[in-house]
Amino acid sequence: MSDSETSTQAGADASASARDIRQILSALPHRYPLLLVDRVKSMEIGERIHAVKAVSFNEQFFQGHFPGRPIMPGVLQIEALAQAAAILAIETLELAGSGKLVYFMAIEEAKFRAPVEPGVLLDLEVGFVQKRARVCKFWGKASIEGKVTCEVQFTAMVADPPAEA
């Protein structure tokens, strides 16, 4: 296979693994204002995901964080990474339609490198460190145009949905 054929195949694989907002809504239980993944650019099942959050001045948290200097809270950057990880886990573990949820268990080694201000596309890159049927460990990195804003490792568990009352 030539270099151009390899490049074309890689582009086709990435677009085949992309997800639009409708597919994200069907994978995640989150809804506005806490849905923090707008698009999946690429995904390698069982390995990694690259998603995007469009950070808009209209986000509710900017009203109070901080007036005069709006900055996306670091915990919401981590939540966005966790939601991308949940999509990766749902696809990898074939949980779509099962009703199972992916819950945070631990956040480790969180580092915030640069502020995230309105009007940017926040790239969310997440990959598996370890995966088991019920517990997965991930690495995550948020960035803007290649500049890292947040790095973290976190653990999540797969659980049954709460029982109906």
Give the tens place of pLDDT for each residue, 142-160: 999 999 999 999 999 999 8
Domains of the chain: 3-159 (3.10.129.10)
Structural tokens at position 11: 């582009």
Q: What is the per-residue pLDDT for 97?
A: 85
The yes-or-no answer on residue 65 being catalytic is yes
DSSP letter assigned to residue 90:
H
Instruction: Give the β-pairing of 48-55 and 147-159.
Output: unpaired
Say if residues 125 and 50 touch (Cβ distance below 8 Å).
Answer: yes
The model's pTM is: 0.87
Amino acid at 17: S
Residue from 65, 100, 131, 137 carrying the catalytic annotation? 65
Task: Pick the most confident of 11-20, 58-67, 93-102, 115-124.
Answer: 115-124
> Above 60 in pLDDT, residue 14?
no
Q: What is the per-residue pLDDT for 15?
A: 53
- Give CA–CA dist 92/61, Å, rounded: 32
> Above 70 in pLDDT, residue 2?
no
Say if residues 134 and 158 touch (Cβ distance below 8 Å).
Answer: yes
DSSP letter assigned to residue 118:
T
Q: Residue for token digits 């949905």?
A: 161
Report, as an integer, the average pLDDT of 33-54. 96
